[in-house]
Amino acid sequence: MAKPEEKPDTEASEPTPAVSKKVKLLILLLIVLLGLSLAAVGALTLLLIKQRASASSESDTAAHAGANTQPASPPPVVVNPNAPPVFVTLDPFVVNLAPGEGERYLQTIIVLRIADPKFEPILKQYLPEVQHRINLLLSSKLPSELVTPQGREQLARELTDEINRVLGYPPQPRDQQPVGPSGPVQAVLFRSFIIQ
């Protein structure tokens, strides 16, 4: 028996060039996109380097200019003993105390004695941050820390320092402070103080 001649499979070889053209086009397209991406990343990198360099040179210039002048510090607080005291009453505070001794809360009304009426608008400008800091400080206390008069006095000193810090008057160490606070808030007074 004679074997029939095998014909070359032309049907299978015809789709290959069509597929290879599509693959080549796809590879070419990916290479172009990759090149464009690399170019964009390179351009962004150069822009960032230039911006950092210009910002660095500006800060160096400002540092050299500032080397000849004193750093800006808040104006000194001068208390006029002949002027009547100025009091600012804050909204009531109700906070949960630290949970170390059970679930307790504190309700208080705070009155600030400030050195001069000119500080009242500044205090009102920073009032949201002042209230936030007071809330954080109050809620960090344990009930046992606040039941004694000494504990409340300590809290009042801490609040005074914290509020003056917000207003731009960082507290000095207690042993280096002059008589009284070094900021516009001279005292924190509790008009009401209830722990439940």
Ranges of each domain in the chain? 16-62, 86-195
Any residues with CB less than 8 A from the CB of 159 and at least 6 apart, and which? 110, 134, 137, 188
pLDDT of residue 70: 39
pLDDT of residue 21: 81
Residue 30 Rama label (left phi>0; alpha psi -120 to 50; beta)? alpha
89: β partners: 111
List C-alpha distances in Å: 136 to 12, 58, 69, 132: 78, 38, 37, 6
CA–CA gap between residue 140 and residue 171 (Å, rounded): 20
pLDDT of residue 24: 84
List average pLDDT for each run of 10 residues in the chain, which is 196 residues long. 56 58 84 86 79 67 47 63 85 92 92 90 93 95 92 94 90 63 86 93
In CATH terms, is domain 86-195 a member of 3.30.479.30? Answer: yes
CA–CA gap between residue 107 and residue 196 (Å, rounded): 8
pLDDT of residue 90: 94
Decide: helix, strand or coil at residue 12: helix
- The pTM is what? 0.59
CA–CA gap between residue 92 and residue 193 (Å, rounded): 10
Instruction: Please report, to the nearest 10 degrees, the dihedral formed by the alpha carbons of residues 124, 183, 116, 71 taken in order.
Output: -90
